Amino acid sequence: MKLKLKLPNPGLDDRIPSHGDLERMEKDEAGDRPQWDNKAQYLLTCVGFCVGLGNVWRFPYLCQSHGGGAFMIPFLILLVLEGIPLLHLEFAIGQRLRKGSVGVWRSINPYLAGVGIASMLVSFLVGVYYNTIMAWIMWYLFNSFQDPLPWSQCPLNANRTGYVEECARSTTVDYFWYRETLNTSTAIDESGGLQWWMVLSLIAAWTVLYVCCIRGIETTGKAVYITSTLPYLVLTIFLVRGLTLKGSTEGIKYLFTPDVDELMNPSTWLDAGAQVFYSFSLAFGGLISFSSYNSVHNNCEQDAVLISIINGCTSVYSATVIYSIIGFRATQKYDECFGDNILKLMNAFNYPENNITQSNYNEILTHLNNTSPDVIQGLSLQICDMQTFLSQGVEGTGLAFIVFTEAIIEMPISPLWAVLFFIMLFCLGLSTMFGSIEGVIAPLLDLKLLPRSWPKEVISGLTCFASLALGLIFALRSGNYWLALFDNFAGSIPLLVIGFFEMISVVYIYGMDRFNKDLEFMIGHKPNIFWQATWRVISPLIMIFILIFYFVTQVTKELTYLVWDQEAESFPTLAERYYPQWVYVMIFILAGVPSLAIPVFALYKLIQRKCCKKDYDDSTVDTISAKIQMSDKMKL
């Protein structure tokens, strides 16, 4: 029994090109719509967009904290039931309607243009803060061309008697990150001033992005040959290097040791679903745009499955690499901790060297504790626990800029590994930014907000400049806290909302029957029962679940953030603070405005229709025949 639910949608045929039109457009030159040079460019661009920093620094952490190898089960299940169908949907609808996100949703129904506008806003906001992370990566990259690396040493204090207090109490990598890179303040309302070195790094990041995006996919299509393939090469190099280091297998074991009990925990499934969704860069509008440059009969089904598999495998592969290095670092710290304790014992009791080793440490300690407990007390020996070291700060910027950099300074030829690592992160982030920029520019062109005569270079330049201007907020001393705010709110709930509306629009407003026929026309066969079931029922349900759970957890939990505060008791661990009241306004702007763009725009369109009663409908202006350009030859 087929689900015959379909909302009325008059005038749809006038707004979209028919199959005949598509065939004709295929045969003639595409006109002013850009095209991919070859299939490889398209695939590399999509892979680059999907595979990003999240694969390197979010997935490994989730894997390890939600039961290691057991996390693969919810991840794979949700990949298949949520990721692949949504991906296929975006590819197919872009390829069929041959427009950017705003154009696609407006073609389906003029009231739905808000979905495209929401995508554009989210792409813009995410692009602004994501490129700031790129600026940080570039700053570290610039600083990697020296030996010894600047984050391996503490600077001396004023009278050269010791190290700077902040550095001595924490670690060199912490100091370099929080003080010399961010120069962070102690609260989000203490904005400090603009840090000139950060502004320079931001300028560098945006100009590199501009030069790659200057002519749209014409230039990005060339850039992705490098930015999408280099990370894999570097990951392999790091894997080989990591496996030869002491303790790497500890890390890998820690990562993949399954804890099946975690599967009972609903937050595991929630995190897996969210990770699949964000990892695929869905709802940004970039994937729809990229697919619209394809030829009509491109096999988007195959592409969706292929890219999903590549994305999943990359996540697992990079998790292995990251954790082999983390295992090495943890072993180093463990040995160091032990070494410290042994040295203290040796010095206090005058044991000859190498008498106390890690193996007989415990028995000697108990013996000494019995004979002279007060001396032992005075020594303040630390407890060395491998598990603690393995679970330290291993996600997000903490992983890249603190934990991994610390591991790198222990490796021989550190500058080489630092350069390789940051180039890899840079390429991963840059290829994701291509999709983000595309998700902003294509709707701008569709909405006709800018004059047609302006060349593409100017439009991309303006976008980059506007984003740079807004991004200066992250170059303040409190920039890191702003970024965490953006990351938590601009890039989470709005995307889920948009993704959900995308599914509903295509399945129930565009019509599943029509969509099936389109796919049959494009790829030659009707999508099978798997696609039908997931598109109609399973994926929307999963999206709704994730959205509701996410919303509930965000709303119920207290809004706190972590600060680097020397005066705090927990220093050098980050201290928790409450957000000031005005942050709620910011959160509303970041999360609410894109999400509300959908109903607000629909309302606006409704009011426009009702009050400005004109003779012609908007839809007639959007017909294909109105767009056919008279070629020059016919003028004579």
Partner 1 sequence: MLGRIVFFLCLPSVLAAQLCKPNAAEGFKVRLSIKTALGDKAYEWNRNQRFLFQAAIAFAMSHHLELEFNVSNILVCDETPRVSFWFVVTSPGDPSRLVGKESVELAVRESRSRINNILLLNDATLEFVGVLPTLTAPVKPATPSWLIVFGVVIGMVGAGIVFLLVSTVVQKKRKKNEVAEEEDDDEEAQMKRTAGNEGIYNTSFSEYDRNTQM
Q: Binding residue for partner 1 (CB under 8 A) from 18, 38, 146, 302?
A: 146
Q: Which is nearer to partner 1, 344 or 609 (CB)?
A: 344
Indicate whether 32 belongs to the interface with partner 1 (CB under 8 A). no
> Minimum distance from CB of 293 to partner 1 (Å)?
19
Beta bridge partners of 577: 561
Which residues, 540 to 579, sit near partner 1 by CB under 8 A? none
Residue 8 binds to partner 1 (criterion: CB under 8 A) = no
Token duo for residue 64: 């390890």
- According to CB under 8 A, which one of 10, 352, 412, 451 is a site residue for partner 1? 352
Q: Restricting to residues 453-472, which ones interact with partner 1 according to CB under 8 A?
A: 455, 457
Position 371 contacts partner 1 (CB under 8 A): no
Q: Cβ closer to partner 1: 171 or 623?
A: 171
Applying CB under 8 A, which of residues 2, 160, 613, 614 lies at the interface with partner 1?
160
When binding is defined by CB under 8 A, the residue of 28, 29, 32, 353 that contacts partner 1 is 353
Taking the complex as a whole, the smallest distance from the CB of residue 212 to partner 1 amounts, in Å, to 9
Q: Which amino acid is at 246?
A: K
Min dist. Cβ of residue 198 to partner 1 (A): 12
Establish if 370 lies at the interface with partner 1 (CB under 8 A).
no
Q: How far is the CB of 23 from partner 1 (least distance, A)?
A: 29
Please tell me the number of Cα atoms within 13 Å of 533 on its side-chain side: 5
Q: Tell the smallest beta-carbon distance from residue 350 to partner 1 (Å).
A: 4
Task: Report the 10 Å Cβ neighbour count for 273.
Answer: 26
The SS3 assignment for 178 reads: helix
Q: Are 9 and 510 in contact (CB under 8 A)?
A: yes
Residue 138 or 546 having the CB closest to partner 1:
138
Cα gap 474→425, rounded to integer Å: 19
Task: For 578, list phi and psi in degrees, rounded to 5.
Answer: -85, 145
- Interface with partner 1 (CB under 8 A), residue from 162, 193, 266, 599: 162
Binding residues with partner 1: total (CB under 8 A): 40
List the structure tokens of 551.
């919303």
Q: Which is nearer to partner 1, 69 or 150 (CB)?
A: 150
Peptide bond between residue 17 and the one before it cis (omega within 30 degrees of 0): no
Q: How near is the Cβ of 392 to partner 1 at its closest, in Å?
A: 25
Q: Is 636 in the site for partner 1 (CB under 8 A)?
A: yes
Contact by Cβ (8 Å): 85, 535:
yes
Residue with tokens 């009663």: 613
Least distance to partner 1 from the beta carbon of 635, Å?
10
From candidates 55, 143, 463, 539, binder to partner 1 by CB under 8 A: 143
Rule CB under 8 A: is residue 451 a binding residue for partner 1? no
Q: Give yes or no for residue 421 binding partner 1 (CB under 8 A).
A: no
Q: Which of 70, 113, 173, 208 binds partner 1 (CB under 8 A)?
A: 208
SS3 (DSSP) at 561: strand
Q: Which residues contact 25 (CB under 8 A, 6 or more apart)?
A: 17, 31, 98, 296
Residue 88 vs residues 506, 520, 527, 532: alpha-carbon distances, Å? 12, 14, 10, 12
Regarding 332 and contact with partner 1 (CB under 8 A), the answer is no
- The span from the CA of 494 to the CA of 482, in Å, is 18
- The rounded distance, in Å, linking the Cα atoms of 621 and 109 is 14
Site for partner 1 contains 207 (CB under 8 A): yes
Instruction: Determine the interface stretch with partner 1 among 66-74, 147-155, 379-387, 571-579 (rule: CB under 8 A).
Output: 147-155
x/- mask, partner 1, residues 168-197, rule CB under 8 A, reads -----------------------------x
Minimum distance from CB of 480 to partner 1 (Å)?
19
How is the chain split among helix, strand and coil, in percent rounded to 5?
A: 70, 0, 25
Closer Cβ to partner 1, 51 or 198, answer by number: 198
SS3 102: helix
The total number of residues written for the chain in this structure: 636
Does position 226 interact with partner 1 (CB under 8 A)? The reply is: no
Q: Which residues pair with 57 in a beta bridge?
A: none
153 binds partner 1 (CB under 8 A): yes
Amino acid at 443: P
- Of the candidates 293, 288, 296, 292, the residue with the CA atom closest to the CA atom of residue 20: 296
CA distances from 40 to 36, 48, 52, 235, 301 (A): 9, 12, 18, 21, 16
Residues that bind partner 1 (CB under 8 A): 138-139, 141-143, 145-146, 148, 150, 153, 155-156, 160-163, 197, 200-201, 203-204, 207-208, 210-211, 214-215, 219, 343, 346-347, 350-354, 455, 457, 632, 636
